[in-house]
C-alpha cells in the first residue's frame, strides 16, 4: 500500500523521467506481459484489465508504440517525437483475447503475442501453470505436497508458505529437461486426481482472430521447455525450428519472432534461432546472458522488461528503468 502510494506520488512528480534511458534515436524499449485478468492468482499475478488500460494510456503519452514489424521504420522516422516501445505478450492465455484485445483495439496499438504450440493444439496448460494450480489447490485444501519422483523427494505443508514452496520446487525443476518436468507434473495430477481447468489457453481459432486484428504472432516454442540447456539438440531445434514451421502453416504467413521460455537461451539455442530464420529474438532483461547476443543486419535481440506489478505507477517506473537501476 505504501509502495503503491510512493510510485503514484513519484509518477505525478514526473520522477520516473529521470530513469528513462531510451530517448529518440536510442534503443527500443520492449516489454513482456503475460496475463490480463480481473481474477488474481498469487503464484502468477495478472495485470487487471483496469491496470492494463491505464498503463497503455500513460505509455501512449510517453512513447510511440508499435509492433516488431514496424519498429525499424518508426525508429528511423524523422517525425518521431517520442521514444519507441514494443508491447510483447507471451504464452497465449485466453484472457488476452477476452480482456487484452478489446483494450488494444480501443487504443489502436499493435502488439506481439508469442504462442506455445502444444497449448494451442491441445488446450493443455504450460507445465509451470499446471504446477501452480496443484500447489494452490494443496494450499486451499490444507494438503501436503508429497513428491517421490526419480531423485526428487519433497514433503511440504503448502498452506501459509505457497510462494516459498513454489520457489523451492521450481528451483529444482528449472534445470531439468522438459520431459522430466512434464512426467513429474503428470504424476502429481494422477496422485491427487487433480483436473486442470480447461479453456484457459487460446486455440488456433482464437489465435487467427488475433492475427486478423493485427496482432503479430510469434513463437514461444512447442512445449515451453527451457532453451537454457543444449543437452538434447534435437529437442531444442524442434522447439525452435519446428514451432516456426507449424505457426507459419497455421497462419499462412512468415513468423519472425521467437520468445525464449523464461528468457533462457543457451548460446547454441540462440544460434539455432538465427539459423531457423527468426529476426526478433525475444529475451528478458533481468536474465543474465554471458555470451554475445549477436545482432546482425536482420537479427534483433530484444531484452524485454517484465511487466506485472499490481500498481500501474510501479509498472511505469519499472518500464522507465527504476527497478533495473536498483538491481545494479
**C-alpha torsion 200→137→38→53, nearest 10:** -70
Reading the block at residue 83, the C-alpha cell is 521514444
Number of residues that bind Zn ion (CB under 5 A): 2
**Closer by beta carbon to Zn ion, 86 or else 145:** 86
Distance in angstroms (rounded) separating the CA atoms of residues 40 and 37: 7
Nearer to Zn ion, 21 or 175 (CB): 175
CB 112 within 8 A of CB 218: yes
Q: How far is CA 32 from the centre of its chain?
A: 5
| Least separation in angstroms between CB 141 and Zn ion | 27
Q: Are strands 144-149 and 152-157 parallel, antiparallel or unpaired?
A: antiparallel
According to the binding rule CB under 5 A, does residue 90 interact with Zn ion? yes
* Helices and strands: H and E segment counts in the chain: 15, 10
Residue (16 or 266) nearer to Zn ion, CB: 266
Residue 314 interacting with Zn ion (CB under 5 A): no
Using rule CB under 5 A, residue 239 touches Zn ion: no
Binder of Zn ion out of 91, 182, 200, 285 (CB under 5 A):
91
Query: Least distance to Zn ion from the beta carbon of 253, Å?
Result: 22
Distance between CA atoms of residues 205 and 250, nearest Å: 10
Provide, rounded to whole angstroms, the least separation between the CB of residue 254 and Zn ion.
22
Angle at 42 between CA 39 and CA 44, to 5 degrees: 85
Cβ-based nearer residue to Zn ion, 91 or 314: 91
Give least dist CB 125 to Zn ion, A. Answer: 11
Give whichever of 22 and 243 is closer to Zn ion, judged by the CB atom. 243
Give the residue ranges of DSSP H helices in 141-293: 162-173, 178-191, 204-212, 233-237, 243-251, 267-276
Given the rule CB under 5 A, which of 88-96, 131-139, 182-190, 303-311 is the region that contacts Zn ion? 88-96
Which residue has the CB atom at the shortest distance from Zn ion?
90
User: Residue numbers of the site for Zn ion (CB under 5 A)?
Assistant: 90-91
Amino acid at each position: 500500500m505504501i509502495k503503491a502510494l510512493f510510485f503514484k506520488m513519484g509518477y505525478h512528480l514526473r520522477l520516473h523521467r529521470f530513469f528513462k534511458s531510451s530517448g529518440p534515436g536510442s534503443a527500443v524499449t520492449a516489454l513482456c506481459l503475460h496475463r490480463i485478468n480481473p481474477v488474481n492468482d498469487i503464484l502468477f499475478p495478472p495485470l487487471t484489465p483496469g491496470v492494463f488500460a491505464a498503463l497503455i494510456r500513460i505509455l501512449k503519452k510517453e512513447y510511440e508504440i508499435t509492433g516488431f514489424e514496424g519498429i525499424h521504420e518508426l525508429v528511423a522516422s524523422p517525425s518521431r517525437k517520442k521514444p519507441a516501445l514494443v508491447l510483447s505478450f507471451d504464452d497465449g492465455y485466453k484472457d488476452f483475447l477476452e480482456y487484452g484485445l478489446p483494450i488494444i483495439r480501443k487504443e489502436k496499438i499493435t502488439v506481439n503475442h508469442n504462442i506455445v504450440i502444444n497449448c494451442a493444439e491441445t488446450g493443455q496448460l504450460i507445465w509451470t501453470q499446471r504446477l501452480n494450480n496443484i500447489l494452490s489447490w494443496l494450499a486451499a485444501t490444507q494438503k501436503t505436497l508429497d513428491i517421490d519422483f526419480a531423485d526428487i523427494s519433497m514433503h511440504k505443508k503448502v498452506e501459509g508458505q505457497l510462494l516459498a514452496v513454489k520457489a523451492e520446487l521450481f528451483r529444482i525443476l528449472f534445470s531439468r529437461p522438459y520431459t522430466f518436468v512434464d512426467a513429474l507434473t503428470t504424476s502429481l495430477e494422477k496422485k491427487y486426481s487433480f483436473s486442470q481447468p480447461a479453456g484457459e489457453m487460446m486455440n488456433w481459432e482464437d489465435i487467427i482472430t488475433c492475427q486478423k486484428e493485427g496482432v503479430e504472432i510469434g513463437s514461444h516454442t512447442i512445449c515451453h521447455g527451457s532453451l537454457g540447456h543444449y543437452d538434447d539438440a534435437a529437442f531444442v531445434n524442434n522447439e525452435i525450428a519446428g514451432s516456426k514451421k507449424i505457426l507459419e502453416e497455421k497462419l499462412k504467413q512468415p513468423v519472425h519472432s521467437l520468445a525464449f521460455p523464461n528468457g533462457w537461451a543457451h548460446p547454441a539455442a540462440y544460434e539455432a534461432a538465427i539459423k531457423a530464420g527468426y529476426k526478433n529474438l525475444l529475451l528478458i532483461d533481468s536474465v543474465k546472458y554471458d555470451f554475445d547476443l549477436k545482432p546482425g543486419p536482420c537479427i534483433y535481440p530484444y531484452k524485454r522488461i517484465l511487466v506485472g506489478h499490481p500498481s500501474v505507477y510501479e509498472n511505469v517506473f519499472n518500464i522507465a528503468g527504476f527497478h533495473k537501476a536498483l538491481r545494479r
